[in-house]
Structure formats: structure tokens, C-alpha cells
Structure 1
Amino acid sequence: MQVDAFAVEDFPNLAKYAGYTSTSKLRVCIATEEILGPVRNGGIASTYYHLAKGLAARGHEVHVLYLKGARVENETPQHWIKHFAEFGVTLHYLHHTSKTIIGPSHNWQGRYDAAYNWLKTQKKFDVIHTSEWRGGLIYALMAKKLGLAFQETLFIVKTSSPHLWNRHYQMQPIAKRDLLPASFAEQKCVELGDIVIGGSAHLLCFMRHVGYRLPSATYVQPNILDFSEVNVIDRRSPRRAGEKVHTQELTFFGRLEMRKGIELFCTALDLLEREGISPKAVNFLGKYGEALPNQNNEKVADFIRRKAKNWSFEVNCVTNLNQPEALSFLCSRDMIAVMPSLIENSTMAVYETLEHNVPFIATNVGGTSELIDSQDHSSCLIEPTAFQLAERLKHALKDGHQIPRASFSNQENLKTWYGFHAYLAETFDKKSVNDSIAKLIDPSLFNAEHRQKSIIGNLEVIVLLRENESAMAFVTSLLADPPDTVSVLITDPALEDAGFEVVEYLQNKGISSKLCRFIGFPAGEAFNHTMDASEADACILCDGTAVHFASDFCADIRVAIQRQQNTLFSSFVELPDNKIIMPIGSDVVSEVVFGNSVGASVVCVPKNLIEQLGGLQPYDLRFGLLQEFVLRASKEHGIDLLVIPECRLTSPFELENIIQNNAHASYLRSMPLIENDNIAYRKLALLPHTGSGSLKFQSKLYRDKKRRDDEPIWLVHADRSRKLGNRWSKVALGLDESESRILCVAIGPGERFLSVNGTEQQMSLLSQAGEATLHFFDIPKDWPEGERYNIKFHLVNKDRTRTQFIRVIKLSTNVFAAVSGGVILDRDAAESMFSRHDALFKIPGIAAKKLQSSLDIEEHKVTEPAANLDVATARFQERRRPFLSVGRVLSMLRLKRKFLRLLRGYSGSPIKASIPPKELLALNPTHVEGWAWDRRDTSKKISVVLEVNGVVLAEAKADRYAERFGSRNKKLAQHGFMLLVPKEARDESAEVTVKVKEDGSIVRNGKLKYLSEMLVAQ
């Protein structure tokens, strides 16, 4: 763990509200990533579960917004809705956005946007509780600070476990890159919260130490845990705090992972074993965590198993219990709980052991000591080293161990939490909600807000013309919600006429405007001179005219500058094809690594900040000037960018016309990090980053002369089979390289869903036959280059969840790599897996066997087995084969194929296309395969259609690779096609014809009839 470079300071608590009562009630929402039920256990989950249940019991209207969506660790989503309803709480699963998000993190920002929109559309909540963990309400909090929403709602942010804190104390890098912007969102949720309540002063002081600006209304209060609602069975003799307990059983209590000290604990046990002083039994009580980096990424279960080989005592791993069952295990007999964490905020394990009088030994890290009476620190707290833990365990096993006392009364803590909410309810009823919230946050801030409301809100748009094409569309967009004045900047003499036209148009529409000629001057200087001369309350800077104003942009800015004069403002930008540029704020790291953290080149600057910030860089660069300005304002002056979480800006252009990641733009965005007194930081900031495109190869480097620019390139393991080894697999993933398409095969009952980086995505059903399905997911064209996408396909039923995984890396434009621990099926293998299952279970013998199995199960349910069943007879029946076995059926099919080959002749032209005879031998075929090409131009891809009674019902391109078609001519292997057989073709009176689309010719063996469950050539 890390050694702290800061002192822990005191914070006020909420004790003055203890016991407060009121008949007034609140409407409360708890927006959380975790809560007991959908997840098995955890600190955040426990706290919010008890808060929801306790507030509902006291008559408040309580709603829980579960930010992860309808994905639960046990039971079903509907089960937990009913469970919460039983004690008066309404559980909502957040539906994540289907928009294509262009920003630092598609995954997390989609969740943030969905949470904001859900809250915005609900009836007003009086109080919204949330944790900073993962930053779920950043956009909702921004909307409140801007004065655009939630003005009569109090946001209470609980500090829990920010990712930066987690990585710092575990001394590990941020392995998942999309947690960089999530870490920024965590910080902003704390800074933008109305009231912040921490479980420990230690975490709050860490936040302040690393740069968080804590709000004035920041408190420390132990987490709310109402153990009267937790059904714990205690089989011990009555125990009380301060009593000494003698036992020879130890229990590691907590998640089995590095942060909770699993390695430290096992090393301490090694030391005890070495000295010949060992317990009789050791239990590991908790869920398995991630693999252990210090043990070559060994799984925790394997690590414990390896260590246990050298121990002489009994070892038990108990990993599947929920909170009540886990606590009942601890209280089933006397044992010493051990919590040797490397870092903790306000650990749930200590709350639980204190409440149930379980003796424990814990490490003196984070906020743990704040929960324990100071007189017991020396007996139950140790430094986080294996030696000290072994020494304390040695004494505890020999002399017994004292049950520690808490530093607070849990009953008084409950009274404080419930009294605080009673006070809020009564205050909101008796006084103006706005005024009440403002005074709770900070009275001085409240008065300042009233002074700011005298601002009129005059706006001046300062736009630099960069091109002719979009200039008139830009100024037209101003008419719906016009600013007060417009200044049109010209630095390029070629655009002077366009400038005159724009100004004249605006003046004719009644908007005050002027042309500002800065011919030959850098763009930065043109902006700076115009801003300095402006008399408006705020200037909206527009670098170019590719981004247009939508309705209410100026109206929202006018509201925002009345509430916040010390911030910069921007907005989401709507693009074609349901895409949205979604900035997250002035996070330098996210902008450097991913881009689009600041957003498009439209930023509003309040007048009072213009002189303070010093203006734009005096450069004449097309992209990056405004981004550098925003990031420098944050780094040097602490001025944030707040984002209007609505599409108040729009553009008809694609992203590359608005934002470009060229070398100059990347340098400008990195300047806040480059301009550093330490040369090491300067050099580090000058390194190319994935987001800037510097590390990505050009697309042409992956292509040979025969590959077109628009043709996808996929890199997969060359030495791995693309065929399925286990023919009875229930779930498989495949890849159709020609279409950049993930194929998902599932066989059996259950729900199918696909997720990308943890977010569920929409799949399309390609084909279905009984319990077999073939879905596909097209790789989005707008996925950023250099990013990794973890794709999981799940088949979920009551018994189990089956999952297949594939990781896709976008290397360059239309160039991808795909890796997986399992088989990545090619298109033929994925489709044949589906069709084989369909055909196999339509063979009479197998279908009969499956039916008989079902009948046997039903009979077993209603009939008791005979007690004196003859064993020999039973074994004989077990071995007895059905009359029509799978082997015999397949043997008959082989004979049938040979017979058909003799009878079937060839017709049609062999020049264009062919369906080889052996491709027409499947029972109840789901598809027809063949090849088609123009041998005069083998790069051309022929299209083939399937007609039924003269009507085209299916079409496919002959661009599939099928090795079997290349037996006579290797080139033919590149020109395979597959047509799905529609149900209309399964009529013996139907005329089925396969034709080449280009010239209408019938392919060889392309005139077909459906006879005796087979398609045969006429």
C-alpha cells in the first residue's frame, strides 16, 4: 500500500439532526451502480439497500434507479422488482441509450446520458442520493449547476471508492482505459454535488490532496446499516464488546482479492506454520476477485489451493453466500475474523463485525480506525505487513482475542440519518425549496446567486469563417434562437465576399452584426481582439461554421450565465445517422488519450473570464485552438467546462469535417501537459497517444494490391482452427469478415443477449429453427481506431448462463483484429453449426429419442421408481440402442448421396455458376451453397438470387471463401455463395430457381424441386 503524504482532518457530521421527527415526507430517488439483491454484497450495495428500506418504512416515497440496467447476479430482474415492492420501494432498471456516442467513453457516457434523461422525465424528486463511484449522475449534476433542470431537488453524493483512489493504494495502473473518463466523472460528481457525505475523513482528505474541490457542505457520517433488517442466526453464547474470546479458527472476511489483503493473509499463515503455531481451521469467506498480479496473474482459487498444500490445518473456501448467510456463518461458532486490507474507505466488514460482536483483526489503513474506539486500536489494528499480522494472530490463538468496541452507536447513527431526512422534508414543506437547498449548500453562495440574477444575459457570437460552403447554413441556424450580436471574422482574403454576404443577411433579419477583417492575422489573435472589444455578458466562440445552433442554445446559455459566471459552456452536438458528439468536460487526460472530451469548436466564455484566461493561443491552426483554451483554463485557473446535456448544437457533416486529430491539433490539446517545469513530464506528454492516431498504421499498410479500400481486413490467429471442435456446443461466436459481422449461434431455451464493453447491444436474427438461433451484430463503422471492444454473447436460462467472448481491436480504417480464448468460427462453420442442429433433430430416429426422453422425464415425475428393480435389467436397458440410431441414419445418407450422384446429370452453363451436387443432400435444408464468378474478371463479385414461382425471395453475393469449391481451380474457393431457403420453397409444388442476377442465367443445378424433405435438381 501507499504511505499517505497528507494529514487526516476533521469534518462536521450530521449528529445535530439525530431524533428529528416530522409528519412531512420526501420523494426520494437512489441512483446507484449497486444495491443488495441485484448484487450479492458490497459496501455501496448494503448502504443504499438499508437507506431505501429504512426511508420507506418511515413513510417516504422511495425509488431506486439501478444504473447497470436489467442485469442481476442472481434470481431475475423481475424477482427483485417484486422483492423491493414488498417493503414499499420501487426498483427501476435503467435502459441504456441506443445513440452512437462520440466521446471519451461510449460505454460510460451512454449510461450518464440515459440516467440524466430518465431523471429529467420523472415527477420531481425532493432528494436524489448517489455515489460518486463510476460517475453515473455527472450530466444530471451539470444540468442542475447550469440552472437547466432539478432546481428543486437536493443531490446528496456519497463518497465510496473512486478509481483513482483504488489504483493509488493498490499501486496499479488504470488497466481499463475507459475508466480514465469515468475517473473524471467521479471527481465531478463530488465537486458538483449539493451535499457530500463521506464514510471516512481519510477518503475526503485523499480527494482534496489529489485535486478534488470539495463542496462547502461536506460531512463525515458512518454509513447507514440497519441490522435489524438482516436475518442473522447467531448460534454462539451471548457475546459483548470488550469480552475476550478463545478460539482456534480464523476466517478471512472480505472479497478474495489483492486489495483486501489475500496475499498478506496467506503469507502470515505461512509464518505461523513455519513456527509450528497454526490454527485448527481457516476459512476464506467472500467472493473471488480478480487474478493476482504479483502471482503472475494466478487465479485466487488456484493461489489458495497452492498455498494450502503446505499448511497442516483445515482450509475451507465459502464463496457463494449473501450478506445474511455470510454473517450467520461468522456467528455460527466462535472464530476470529481477519480483514487485512491494503486500503479501505469505511469498510462494511468492520461495521458488520462490530455490530455482531465478532472478534477481528484489521489493518490500520484508510478510514478503518475511524470506526473503532481508540482504546481498542492497539489490540485489533495492525500495520499492513505479514509479519505484524502473524505476530498478532500468534497472540490471539494463544491468549484469546478481545471483541473491539465501536467509536459510534449504530442506533444513534440510524436516528441521525432518519432525522436528517425528516428535517429536509419539513424544511421543504415550510419554505421555498430553492432557498432551502441554497442555504443547505452554502448561505454565501445563496446570496451570490441572487446577485448574479441581475445579469441580463447579452450574448455575442464570434464566428471565424473557414469555408464558403457552410457559412449561410450557419447564420440561418441563428434565426431560431438569435444572439444579441454577431461578429464575423475574416482571416482569409478569399472569404471576404462570403463575409459581406453573411453580415448583410443577418442585418436584413434584424440581428446586429459586423464584419471584422483580420486578413493575414492568426485565428487566435482575431478571436482575442474581438473578445476584448465585446460588451456582451458572454461570447460564444465558433471556430468555423460546420457546427450550427439548434433551438434553445442561446436560451440555455442565458440561463447558465446567470447561475455560473466562473465556468465555460458547451453542448452535445447532433450528427447524421443518430450520432452525438458528447463532451464530458475539461479533462486533459481524456482529451489527449481519446479526444472529444471538450467537444466541437463552439465554446461560450463569460465576459468576466476573458481577461483572466488570457485568450487563445496566437496561432493560425484549423483544429484544436478552442480545445487548448478550455484545457488551459482548467489547468491554470481551475475554470471548468460545463456541458449542456442536450443536443443544442447540430451539424450536417461527418465527424472528420468538425474535429480532426492531425499532429498540430494533437499537440495543442496536449499543451497543458507539455508546458511543465519538469522536463520528464514534458517528454511524456509529447509521446503519441492512441487517441491522436499517432500509433495507428495507415490502412494501406494492411492491404495488398488486390484489396480495395472499402474491403474489410480482419487479422485472426492463423494457426487456430476456425471450425467447431465440440459438435454439441450450445453457444458459439463466429466472424463474417466480408461484412465485418459477428455471428452468434445459440442452441437451447433461454434469453440471448450481446454486450460490448459491458453495455448490451441490439442483435439481428438471421435465422431460427426450433431452439436454434443464428443472430448477427454488425461492427459499427464509427468505432474509434485504436480501441478494444470486449464482446460477450450470453445464453441465459434457469440452470446456467453460457457465455462466449471475443475481443475486437480496430487497428485502422476498415482494419480489425479479433482474438479469443475459444474458437472464432468462420461464416461456413457458424452457419453449418446452426443448420446441422436443425437437420440432425429432424432425423426421425433422433427426434423420437428426444421425444422419448421427455416422456421418460414426465413419467418419472408421476411414478415412484420400483424399489426392487433388477440391476442387470437396468444396465441392459441402459445399453440398448434404438432401432434407428444416429450412426445407421448417417450410413443410409451416405448411400443415398452415392445413388443420387449416379442419377443426377448436369444442366445449364458452367461458365457463370454452379451448385455442386453434394451441396443438395441435406434433409430439410436451411440453405443452398454453390459458387459463381466471372472468370474474365475474377475481382468482380457476382450476385445470385433464389426465386420461388418466379418471385425473388433471397439474394447473396458470391464472396464467401469455401475451400471445397477450389478443388479443381483454387480461385473458385473465393467465390462461394449461400442462399437461405425460405419456407415457401418447402412446397413440393413450388418451382425453385437459382439465377445469376447480372444476366438472369440459371446456374448449373439451379432448377430445383422439394421432394421427400430434400431439394433436388431437376
Structure 2
Amino acid sequence: MKICIATIDIHGPIRNGGIGTAYTKLALLLAQAGHEVTIAFLLGERCEQGSISRWQQWYAERGVTFEPALLDHKLRFYAPPQRAESYLTYLWLRSRPVTYDVVHFPEWRGYGYYAMLAKRLGLDFQDTTFCVGTHSPTLWHTLGNHEPVNHFHQLDVNFLEAQSIALADLVVSPSRYMLDWIREQGWTLPERTLVLPNVMLDRPLARPAGGGAPVSELVFFGRLEERKGLALFCDAVDRLVPVLQRPLTITFLGKPGDIRGERGDAYAAKRAAAWPFPCRTIPDKDRDGALAYLAAPGRLAVMPSLVENSPYTVLECLTARIPFLAAGVGGIPELIAPEDRDRACFVPQPQLLADKLAQALAAPNLPVRCAFDIEANHRAWLELHGRLGRERRTRPAATAARPLPLVSVCMTTRNRPELLARALDSVRAQDYPHFEVVLVDDGSDRPEALAYLDRLEPEFERRGWRIVRQANRYPGAARNAAVAQARGTYVKFMDDDNVTDPDELSTFVKAALASDADILTCVLRPFEGDDPTARTDPVEVLWLPAGANVALGAFENCFGDVNALIRKEAFEALGGFSEDYGVGHEDWELFARAALKGFRLYVVPRPLVRYRVSKSGVQSSTSVHANYARSLRPYLGAVPPGLRDALRLAQATFIQMHPASAGLLVRRKKDPAKELDRIKRSVTWRVTKPLWTVEKSIHRQLEKRRLKHRDPA
């Protein structure tokens, strides 16, 4: 089989965490079994240790192809970085000359989202099985570290990760605990969900590594951070010191993380200053070096994690027969033989850990047994891939094509005949054969606009298309009027200043039939001016929606643009667009209402429309706060009345934190510097400026650390 493991965390070029260890060992196991394995390193040429060529050679010697996924940097995005990275991963996979039988993704950061979305929509990868491993969801990690959800981009990451799990053909979790956590969050698991412990290629040692010697050194083993229990460990040692009867050494073995506003190594040194025995921190050992250190006689590994999935630290100690104590949280007990759990595990509370440490100091230093057979687990992984290969070879042939549905292209226009002519030309060029056009003139009063409509009448009558003329009532009412005349199974909305690609309707229909979607939006190519083909920037820009992210949708339109395909029955069930005069965001409001009510809304991950950005458009010429209030209405109707002001406050805070995104600095062609100065003088700015400043500072620090460490586990 041809198998791809696509990840940013892998052994070699970076100082990897648990995800990298899991996928490295899986790659080696599959290669040993004769499969063609490619590791797609999604950080491209980035290398923290050695060189990319060195690691390519290292993996090649073990039968694995290591390929830096050189993502296309000729694109820029109206989208957060993690969304753009997921989309670039999709483009890279789509460009491959080989069709992979299986592609493995971690759920972490949602790199597989757009690729798996393309498969769900019937557009790509129909012969590929996407397997997602549940290792370390960002929300799980954030909550476990007692950190706040302090940036709106985190809502985006959480959605990408949840959808990566929901869209997978197969989810494999190393623990039942993590699947339970996912269900508790309300995330959707696919029908095919398995529990398989991580691969551990090292064979278990026959004898204890420590030889049963008395404990003379306690080794905190893990990253120095809150979630790994650093503060808990220090609190327990504080309680142990008064009752300690003999000399002892304390070692912190792990890379520094962050804890309570400072680096983990600094925190450990500060806490250890009060202890009457030697203490040291060892931050730079790799996996093999750490295990070799722990294997020396008299050393007891302590892993007091507050939350944990299925940590390799525990699994490696089990395999190497290294004595340890571990918090009985998450998936840790699933790794330990039932008869050893009471001895090896503890409830993560300072006094209970101190009591456990005192017991360990008074007893022989004995290892702990694993709950499952390592070799049998390897066979289970290989048998799983064997089943996937057999399923691919015996996949039934495609069923007969369904009749093509009629699509009603619903266009609105007002006093822009030149732009309307170009838009209609793009509609006439569609390669989809079964569509009609319903054009609503929303109160044009320019003579040239009225004359152009008159010239269109014969063609429209000949084609069975329709022109509806009405007084100016704004886009929501105009689009509802178009749908009232539509005969299609689907309605496709379009503004008169946008230009559609020739394959837009055919792509939309193919995706709708494959996914049974109610609403499909798409990637857009924004342009300024009147010519959609003119590009002054050598880098192409794409507006990249996320989809039905209801959490983020309360603050920004992550759903997509009104250039969307909607099943007419769904549109009518939603009540159509609201018809507020002089207010924008009618499409955002409709999409939010649909997502909250459970209608299927997906983004077609292909650019199908050239979207004209205009400073004189509806969004720019209307009240920012009125527009946002309109988009919030579906949320206000979905929560108890007592929570509505909390939503209003949250949205207003977002607007103050992101004034440019909300349009505050560009609306009505105001001078940006003067507008910014006006906002600074306002009471609202003075109240929220400290929050904005702190929030931006925190986000910059977190992003710098993320880029520096790239360490998921």
C-alpha cells in the first residue's frame, strides 16, 4: 500500500513531542511490513536539528520516504494562519502524482480539514482513506494547562480539529479516555472509531532497568509546565521535606514550558531553592538519552500530569522496565496492568502524591507491567491497514449518475449596467447545462441602467429567464424576490459586480449531490477595480471561509459569501433573508441561522468566484454596529434571555479589538488616521485599551513560542 503520514511533528528535524514519536514509530512499523511509506513534513524545509537532507537519508535507510511538503507561498489569504496552512496542505496533497491508499493526519491544528472536506464533497481523494489520530486537541491542552481561551483564532483551531475528526473515514485513538472527552465536547466521531495504543517498537526488557535498588533520586519526567503537574510535584515535595529521613536528589528531566506566567525551569529553580537537598534541571536530552538516564539504579520517574491522553513517557517507562509513579488521570490507567495500578498511580493532589512518594522511598524500586502485549498491538495496527487495503480493492463501482437538477441563478442589480454585463457573460459561459437566471432590478434609476435592462428582455424571454423590477428595498428583499420566481431545486445567489468561473455551477452541483449539503459557499478571489483579471500583486489572494463554525460566527463571517448554492427547500425552511433596509450582513445572518439550526453548510475548497471588493458597497456604506447586530440575531434567539447581553458584550469587545476587520477604520471613506484618533478619544477606547493591549501582547508571545517550539504534546 501507498501510505502518507502528514504531520508537522516528527522525529528528526524538530524537537518533537508525543505526536512526532507516535507517527515516527508507525511509519517504521509500516515500512518494515513492506508498505511504501511517505512522511509529508508539513513544515517544509524548516529544520531545528541537522539538515533536511540528513533526515531524508536517515529515513531512507529505514525504508521511509521523507518529503518536505513545500507549501505554495505564491498565495496570500484572508484567513487566520492555521486555516491557510490547512488549505495549503490540501493543495499539496492534490498536486501529488501518486494516489495514496491511506493518509494519516493528527487532529492537532486541523491540517487535514480541507483535504477531508474535499473528499466529503466528492471533489478529490475518492480512493484515499483518511485516518485521523486523536492525540492532543488544542482545547484539551489549553484547559489542561489552566490557560484561558484568549484569542478568537483559538475558536478557529478548535473548529478545524473537531471537523478533522468528524470528516475522517477512520479515527484511531490511543485511549478510550480521549474519545470520551471528544464526546463530552459535543464533537462528532465517525462511525469507524477504534482504540489502539500507540506503536512502541522497542521490545520490553526482561529484567528491571533499575535492578530493584532503593530510591535515592526523584525525577520529574515531562515538560516543565502546568498540565504536566510541575506545581503539583513541587507542592508534594514541600510536604515530603519535613518527614524525609535520608538524603535525596531531585531532578527535573524535560524541556521548559510555561507555568503561571514564567518559564518552567525558572519556576522549578525558585521552588527548589527552599529544599535541603541537591536539585537540578536537565532540559536537553532526547528520548533515548532521557530513558538511559532514568534506567540508572535508584531513580524513580514521577509523572504527575493533571490531564493526559496516552503519554509516551509512561509507555516508554513500561517498555524499558523503569520504575515510576504516574497520576491516575486520562488514559494513563489504560496503559498499566490492573494489578499494578494501585501501586503505580495516585490521585493528583499534593498530600496524596507526597504520601505515595514516601511509600516509594520506603519500598523496593520495582517496575510496572504494561496492560497489553506490545507485539499483539503491532499486529493489530498492521491488520488494520491490511483491511483498509482489501476494502480499497473491493470498493463497489460508482452508481449511475443522478439527473442534473435545475439551478436558478438569482442575481440582483442596481444602477451598474457595465458590471452586470460582465457578470452575465460569466454566467452564460457556465459548463453546467441546466440552469436559469432570475434577475431582480432593485430600483435602478439611471437611464443607461434601465436601457440595458430593456435590451436584455428579448434574450431572457427566449431562454425562459426572468427579469423582475421593483422599488429599492435592499439586497435581502431583492434576493427573496428572486427566489420567489425561481423554479430550480437549488438557488445560486450572485451579485452583479462579481464574476463566476465557468465550472462554478457544475462544481457546486457535484458537491451538493455528493454531500447532500443544504448550503455550499466557496473560496473567493477578491479583486479591486472593474477588471477581475487585472492583478497588480504577483501573489494571488484568496478569501478562505472555514464553514459552519458557530462559535467564531458570532464575531466574524467565517461561513462564506452570498455567492452560494442553497437548496431551495432549505432556504424556504429558514425563512429566507431578513429584509432590513439600510443594513448589511444579510448573508452572514442567514448562514448563522442555518448553522445554529443544524442545516448542512460546507465550503467548497476551490476558488469559484472573482469577488469585487468595493469601498462603496453595502457593507462599507452602512453602520458597522447595525450590521454586526444583525448577524448576532440568530445567536440571541438561540440562548436564554439572560445570556443575550453577554453575547452583545463579547461581540462589542471583538469589534474594539479588531477595528480594521470590523470596518471601523475604512467605512465611509474616512481618513484612517483621523478615524483612529477619534476612536482613541472615545470613552469606549479608554475603557478597553488595556484589555486590547494585554490581549495583543499575550497573542504575540504565544505565537512566537509556537513558532519556536512547534511542540504539540
The match for 2:609 is 649
Q: Which residue of 2 aligns with 1:51?
A: 26
Alignment of 1:29-48 (within 5 A): 29-48=4-23
Deviation of 1:331 (Å): 1.4
What corresponds to 2:409 in structure 1?
Answer: 461
Q: Give the deviation of 1:192 after TM superposition.
A: 0.8
Q: How does 1:174-185 map to 2 (within 5 A)?
A: 174-185=149-160
Letter in 1 for 2:109: R
Does the Cα contact within 8 Å between 2:438 and 2:486 map onto a contact in 1? no
DSSP-derived class of the 2:564 partner: strand
Matches of 1:697 and 1:554, distance apart in 2: 33
Match of 1:373 among 316, 320, 337: 337
TM-score (norm 1): 0.61
> Residues 127-276 of structure 1 correspond to what in structure 2 (within 5 A)?
127-228=102-203, 238-239=207-208, 246-276=214-244
Q: Secondary structure at the match of 1:408?
A: coil
What's the CA shift for 1:99? 4.8
Unaligned 5+ segments in structure 1 are: 1-25, 436-449, 703-707, 715-784, 795-802, 804-1018
Deviations 1:197-256 (A, max 9, x none): 11122222222222211111112111122125xxx9x8xx92299x96632221111111
Shift of 1:84: 1.4
**Structure 2 CA distance for aligned equivalents of residues 385 and 642 of structure 1:** 45
Contact 1:475/1:506 (CA < 8 Å) preserved in 2? no
The CA deviation at 1:54 is: 1.4
Residues 634-678 of structure 1, C-alpha deviation per residue, up to 9 Å, x if partnerless? Answer: 1122x3432222211113445874855822222233233333443
Deviations 1:510-535 (A, max 9, x none): 75421234536564355446546644
After the TM superposition, which of the residue ranges 264-273 and 34-43 deviates more from structure 2?
A: 34-43
Aligned to 1:73: 48
Q: Which has the higher contact order (CA 8 A, sep 6+)?
A: 2
Matches of 1:513 and 1:500, distance apart in 2:
18
Structure 1 CA distance, aligned partners of 2:12 and 2:29? 16
Structure 2 contact 415–444 (Cα < 8 Å) conserved: no
1:289 pairs with 250, 253, 257, which one?
257
Question: Displacement of 1:299 after TM fit?
Answer: 2.1
Contact 2:209 2:296 in 1 (8 A): no
Deviations 1:773-799 (A, max 9, x none): xxxxxxxxxxxx9899959999xxxxx
Secondary structure, counterpart of 1:460 in structure 2 = strand
Q: Counterpart of 2:39? A: 64
Q: Which residue of 2 aligns with 1:616?
A: 577
- For 2:354, the aligned partner's letter is A
* Structure 1 counterpart of 2:322: 358
Q: Does the CA contact (< 8 Å) of 2:209 and 2:295 recur in 1?
A: no
Kept after mapping to 2: 8 A contact 1:251/1:283: yes
CA offset digits 1:698-725 (Å, max 9, x no partner): 99x99xxxxx9789999xxxxxxxxxxx
> Which residue is equivalent to 1:405?
369
Q: Quote the offset at 1:271 in angstroms.
A: 0.7
Q: Give the 3 Å change call, closer, same or farther, for CA 503–304 of structure 1 in structure 2.
A: farther
Cα 1:698/1:175, change in 2 over 3 Å: closer
**Residue number among 391, 401, 410 corresponding to 2:355 in the alignment:** 391
The amino acid of 1:519's aligned partner reads A
User: Contact 1:459–1:540 (CA<8 Å) still a contact in 2?
Assistant: yes
Tell me the residue number matched to 1:911: none
Q: Distance in 1 between matches of 2:236 and 2:479?
A: 65
CA distance in 2, matches of 1:379, 1:245: 17
Rounded to whole Å, the distance in 1 between the matches of 2:225 and 2:17 is 14
User: For 2:636, which of 667, 671, 674 is the aligned residue?
Assistant: 674
Give the aligned residue type for 2:373. Answer: S
Residues 471, 498 of structure 1: 8 Å contact kept = no
Cα distance in 1 between the residues matched to 2:194 and 2:450:
56
Q: Is the 8 A contact 2:438 2:485 kept in 1?
A: no
CA offsets, 1:45-91, max 9 Å, x none? 01100111111122211111112222222112222122112212222
Q: Deviations over 1:970-1005 (max 9, x none)?
A: xxxxxxxxxxxxxxxxxxxxxxxxxxxxxxxxxxxx
Q: 1:201 to 1:596 in 2, by over 3 A?
A: same
> Is contact 2:78–2:541 with CA below 8 Å preserved after alignment?
no
Query: Given the superposition, is the C-alpha separation of residues 350 and 552 from structure 1 closer, same or farther in structure 2, using an over 3 Å criterion?
Result: same
Aligned to 1:551: 502
Aligned to 2:85, which of 102, 111, 120? 111
What letter is aligned with 1:456?
A: L
* Equivalent position of 1:636 in the other structure: 597
Partner of 2:692: none
Question: Is the counterpart of residue 561 in structure 1 residue 521 in structure 2?
Answer: no
Which residue identity is paired with 1:138?
Y
Number of residues of Structure 1 aligned to a counterpart in Structure 2:
665
User: Take 1:307 and 1:789, find their aligned partners in 2: how far apart are those partners?
Assistant: 28
**1:489: how far off?**
2.3
Q: In 2, distance between residues paired with 1:682 and 1:316?
A: 52
**Is 1:540 paired with 2:492?**
yes
1:520 to 1:48, Cα distance in 2 relative to 1, 3 A: same
1:341 paired with 2:305, answer: yes
- List aligned pairs for 1:757-776, cutoff 5 A: none
What SS does the corresponding residue of 1:602 show, helix, strand or coil? coil
Q: Check whether the contact 1:279–1:397 (CA below 8 A) recurs between aligned residues.
A: no
Deviates more, 1:466-475 or 1:551-560: 466-475
Q: Are 2:624 and 1:662 aligned?
A: yes
The structural deviation recorded for 1:589 is 3.4
- 1:930-955 CA-partner distances (Å, limit 9, x unpaired): xxxxxxxxxxxxxxxxxxxxxxxxxx
Give 1:455 deviation, angstroms.
Answer: 4.5
> Residues 42 and 348 of structure 1 are in contact (CA less than 8 Å); yes or no, is this contact kept in structure 2?
no
Could you tell me the percent identity over the aligned residues?
A: 26
SS in 2 for 1:571: strand
Cα distance in 2 for partners of 1:579, 1:690 equals: 28
- Are residue 422 (structure 1) and residue 379 (structure 2) matched? no
Deviation of 1:422 after TM superposition, in Å, equals 2.1
Instruction: Give 1:100 shift.
Output: 5.6
Change (3 A) 1:434 1:350: farther
Q: Check conservation: 2:457, 2:467, Cα contact below 8 A.
A: no
Letter in 2 for 1:400: P
Match of 1:432 in 2: 395
Deviation at 1:174, TM superposition (A): 2.3
Partner Cα distance (2:189, 2:624) in 1 = 37
Matched residue, 1:733: none
**What does the per-residue CA deviation read over 1:138-185, in whole Å, with 9 as the maximum and x for residues that have no partner?**
111111111111011110011111111222233321245433312211
Report the Cα offset of residue 694 of structure 1: 7.5
Asked whether the equivalents of residues 517 and 602 of structure 2 are also in contact (C-alpha less than 8 Å), the reply is no
**3-state SS of paired residue (2:465):** strand
Question: Per residue, is there more strand in 1 or in 2?
Answer: 1
Post-superposition, which runs of at least 4 consecutive aligned residues in structure 1 deviate over 6 A? 708-714, 785-789, 791-794
* Whole-Å separation in 1 of the counterparts to 2:657 and 2:676: 20
Q: Which of residues 487, 506, 509 is equivalent to 2:438?
A: 487
What pairs with 1:597-616 in structure 2 (closer than 5 Å)?
597-616=558-577
Whether the aligned pair in 2 keeps the contact of 1:467 and 1:545 (CA below 8 Å) is no
Contact persistence 1:254–1:349 (CA under 8 A): yes
Residue 680 of structure 1, CA deviation: 4.6
Alignment match of 1:473 (pick from 422, 426, 438): 422
- The residue identity in structure 2 corresponding to 1:460 is S
Deviations 1:542-576 (A, max 9, x none): 3x323321121111112112111234211111123
- Label 1:522 to 1:39 Cα distance change in 2 as closer, same or farther (>3 A): same
Give SS of 2:103's match.
Answer: strand
> Aligned partner of 2:395: which letter?
S
Change in Cα spacing, 1:484 to 1:120, as seen in structure 2 (3 Å) is same
Structure with the bigger percentage of helix: 2
Deviation for aligned residue 1:98 = 2.9
Change (3 A) 1:394 1:500: farther
C-alpha displacement at 1:402, in angstroms? Answer: 4.3
Instruction: Please say which structure displays the higher CA radius of gyration.
Output: 1
Partners of 1:265 and 1:496 lie apart in 2 by 80
Tell me the SS of whatever aligns to 1:118. Answer: helix
Alpha-carbon separation, structure 2, partners of 1:156 and 1:503: 57
Supply the RMSD in Å over aligned alpha carbons.
3.5
For residue 571 of structure 1, the aligned residue among 522, 529, 532 is 522
Match of 2:69 in 1: 94
